[in-house]
Structure 1
Amino acid sequence: MKKWSMLIFISILLVVSGCRPSAFGGQVVIDWVDFIHIDGKEYDGIHSGVLADESFVGDKVGTVKFKVADNVKNTSYKIRDGDAAFHEKGTEIFQIKDHPHLIAVKNDRAINGYRVYFSRDNDIEYHWNFKDMPIEKVERIEIYQTDPPAGNIMISKLTKDEDVNSFLQLLVNSEENPNFQPNRGNADPIFYEMIFYTDEPIAYKYYMQFDGETYFWSPWDTSIISNEIQMFIDRN
């Protein structure tokens, strides 16, 4: 059973997660996945990855022609070339160098300035889950605190091998506890984003939370992280 902390992310795995009648006038509201359709291919947003560096961005391959969110109310609408779920008309689309199944668009609120997408064409599988991450190739780790008004704020960067390895080991050794309920006595848990850089153009991104007593995350089911991880938080 997935915990509440994963529910805010899981809807992006669906093309259209659902349609529901509005309380006003009975109109249908469509919840769109974050996608871009270009050159006959549909690209889905990579929810557990970010662009590793702007140097991986290649040539412009097109622009968004139509934003479907807020504009399409018909559930039988057929996606067309140039459509995007959430990007405005005119948004430029770029290829990731040497990776034809990856594209990117500029996004000021995204870590490293771009939102990245991948195509499932040719049976390419999504491989940015924690179990797929090549731990031995992680070169550095960045930790951001998620602050909705201000965006993501970097609070720590780990570059020394011993720090990187120790941090990774704490995650590997986290104890699965699907029945865990965070302490909400004083406030909502603090959200963190952990970014893991390898030699790939997409860095791996996972979420961690702290409820004032316990650090936890959801590589699949909710898992409890040792409070030793505190030594790596807010080191800047």
Structure 2
Amino acid sequence: MKKRRMFFFGVILFVLTGCQPSAFGGESIIEWVDFIKLQGIEYNGIYSGVLADEHDIGEKIGTVNFRVADNVTNANYKIKDGDAAFHEKGTEIFQVKDQPHLIAVKDAHAINGYQVYFSRDDLDYQWHFKDMPIEKVKLIEIYQSVPAEKDTLIAKLTKSEDVNTFLQLLVESEENPNFQPNSEKGDPLFYEMVFYTEDPIAYKFTMQFDGNTYYWYPWDTSILSDEIQLFMNGN
């Protein structure tokens, strides 16, 4: 099982390996980075973060004019203002309050209702686990992911003792990049862990359970203690 990751190295798009241009117009199969371009600025999706509170949404600052995914097959296409990788025409774009380099769009399937984006020209990506100020985490939510549906909240940790214990289990997880999940019981269960600090963007990381082992990806695959099960089905 290959681990999926997204990287932001200033690449707007790339052509899949082995894909050849067509003899009838140079069409290619393109995999797009999740982006929005607005007012000359390119914003990339924050894949390990969610909006902490919908009250942090500010004024509307634009609208998507064109969805490039499934509509553009020319690898030389130059993105322009109003273009978005995956959002449909008419999608409203909002400023995040007091955060000039962050924007958001409504998403019914996203935790807390919005997808958030950062200006890659003004900010480095800063939502990895190593970037998270653990001492500032006050609330942890755990969601079970269901394909094509909104994630279901299964646990909320509010007591400082529970929050600290859960964080310690993550910190003490054992890195094992060669781990292979057990597939005898089918596909693993997917969970999203959301960590709230005082910032408008909460950190979000994926955890999986293959029927025997809980594991996650702070960077390389890491195995979690069975004690994590104690937090999976209660408030």
What TM bracket, shorter-length normalisation?
over 0.9
Matched, 1:15 2:41: no
Deviation track 1:128-173 (CA, whole Å, cap 9, x = no partner) reads 0000000000010000111014321111110000000000000000
CA contact (8 A) 1:101 1:118 kept: yes
Report what 2:164 is aligned to: 165
Q: CA deviation at 1:62?
A: 0.6
Segments of structure 1 that go 5 or more residues without pairing to the other structure are none
1:172-191 mapped onto 2 (5 Å cutoff): 172-191=171-190
Q: CA deviation at 1:22?
A: 9.2
Rate the CA distance shift 1:224–1:22 in 2: closer, same or farther, 3 A: farther
Rate the CA distance shift 1:121–1:11 in 2: closer, same or farther, 3 A: closer
C-alpha distance in structure 2 between counterparts of 1:90 and 1:147, whole Å: 27
C-alpha distance in structure 1 between counterparts of 2:143 and 2:20, whole Å: 37
Report the residue type matching 1:157 in the other structure: K
C-alpha distance in structure 2 between counterparts of 1:217 and 1:175, whole Å: 10
Report what 1:64 is aligned to: 64
Report the residue type matching 1:185 in the other structure: E
SS in 2 for 1:131: helix
With normalisation by structure 1, the TM-score equals 0.92
With normalisation by structure 2, the TM-score equals 0.93
C-alpha distance in structure 2 between counterparts of 1:155 and 1:194, whole Å: 10
Rate the CA distance shift 1:12–1:126 in 2: closer, same or farther, 3 A: closer
Report what 1:95 is aligned to: 95
SS in 1 for 2:124: coil
SS in 1 for 2:220: coil
1:21-32 mapped onto 2 (5 Å cutoff): 21=20, 27-32=27-32
Q: CA deviation at 1:10?
A: 2.3
Partner of residue 2 from structure 2, selected from 4, 12, 15: 4
Matched, 1:147 2:128: no
CA contact (8 A) 2:29 2:73 kept: yes
Higher deviation after alignment, 144-153 or 217-226: 144-153
CA contact (8 A) 1:12 1:34 kept: no
C-alpha distance in structure 1 between counterparts of 2:154 and 2:183, whole Å: 23
C-alpha distance in structure 2 between counterparts of 1:22 and 1:52, whole Å: 43
CA contact (8 A) 2:15 2:75 kept: no
Rate the CA distance shift 1:226–1:17 in 2: closer, same or farther, 3 A: farther
SS in 1 for 2:191: strand
Report the residue type matching 1:227 in the other structure: D
CA contact (8 A) 2:36 2:84 kept: yes
Q: CA deviation at 1:197?
A: 0.4
Q: CA deviation at 1:11?
A: 6.2
Rate the CA distance shift 1:190–1:199 in 2: closer, same or farther, 3 A: same
Segments of structure 2 that go 5 or more residues without pairing to the other structure are none
What is the percent sequence identity of the aligned residues? 63
C-alpha distance in structure 2 between counterparts of 1:22 and 1:190, whole Å: 38
Give every structure 1 segment of 4 or more consecutive aligned residues whose post-TM-superposition deviation is greater than 4 Å: 11-14
Deviation track 1:39-90 (CA, whole Å, cap 9, x = no partner) reads 1100000000000000110011110111111111111000101100011111
Report what 1:117 is aligned to: 117
Rate the CA distance shift 1:234–1:21 in 2: closer, same or farther, 3 A: farther
